[in-house]
Amino acid sequence: MSEESLQGANSRDDVEQILSVDEEELPGLLEEKRRREELSRQIAFGEGL
């Protein structure tokens, strides 16, 4: 979540809404991170190229 998002929030409800959107995106972001780490490892060790 960006600092700008929090600064633009006018109430606790606004902040909670911003947080809930980020929580919904988290599983996809974690999967993307795992995929990129695996690809980086393969490149570093010359595997699967």
**Cα angle vertex 21, ends 13, 33, to 5°?**
145
pLDDT in the model for residue 23: 74
pLDDT band at 49 (very low <50, low <70, confident <90, very high): low
Q: In this predicted structure, what is the pLDDT of residue 5? A: 56
d(CA 48, CA 42): 7
DSSP output for 2-38: -HHHHHH--SHHHHHHHHHHHHHHHHHHHHHHHHHHH
Domain enclosing residue 8, as ranges: 3-45
Does pLDDT of 47 surpass 70? yes
pLDDT in tens, 4-43: 555 566 677 777 777 776 777 889 989 999 999 999 999 9
As for how many domains the chain has, the answer is: 1
